[in-house]
Amino acid sequence: MSFAAGETLYLMDEAGKRYWFRFEVSIIKLGGLGAIDGSRFANLDDGDSVTIAGKKFNIFRPTVVDLMASLDRGAQIITPKDASIILFECGVRAGTKVIEVGAGSGGLTTALTSAVAPSGHVHTLELKAENAERVLKNLKRTGLDAYWSYQIGDARTMDIDYGMADVITTDMPDPENAIDNLSAHLRNGGMFCTYVPNVNQLDLCVRALRNKGFADVRSFETLRRGMDVHAGGVRPSFEMLGHTGYLTFARKKA
């Protein structure tokens, strides 16, 4: 399928370097490559090759993982290995309404907004205005800001300007102190997810969810190890993306 105006795309050279741009049938400014006539891409499709100034590139539509990797970062992001589990375990899909606590640089926000589009919505509660501004910049680059809103404040005590959500996710050090305020905006049967880096934090939030009557409370972490494939053999990589955070999932009872 040919590219549509406004799509976020990237060119990849033979060394794997990526050049991001929004497709328009007009002059496009590509950092590191200069100004290019966008009409050159008009009849191309995902994966096609193009030569620019004697150099070969392939043009691709980004996956969600690609988008997360390309974010302008400040605060640390929730990585794709954890974000994908959150989406799957919480059943986030088109039409889902999500309240997200703590946006960071927008890694999970990008995954959530991409999943809920075009009929769902993500509302983020962020303590720091500079984080929210960075997330807005990142989402505007891809058009995902159409499915996003935010408030600045403390999720433990703030008045939340949002109706009922299907899913609540938290990336904060003490989610147990925000459960009462947040769960008032979670529909019965909805999913509550917490992400914390330390075991003592995990213990506190699990106990709090159980004490407050949530069902099916369970926790785990995900580990990701690559494989090195060579002509002489195949083995697991010596390096791996190990501990990033502990995930807890729970369901709100009526």
Query: What confidence tens digit (pLDDT) does each residue in 21-70 have?
Result: 888 888 888 777 888 888 888 888 899 999 888 889 999 999 888 888 88
Cα–Cα distances in Å, from 184 out to 188, 202, 205, 248? 10, 22, 17, 19
* DSSP single-letter state for residue 38: G
pLDDT band at 75 (very low <50, low <70, confident <90, very high): low
Distance CA 20, CA 106 (A): 18
What residue has token string 């939340």?
A: 160
Mean pLDDT of the chain: 92
Distance CA 8, CA 5 (A): 9
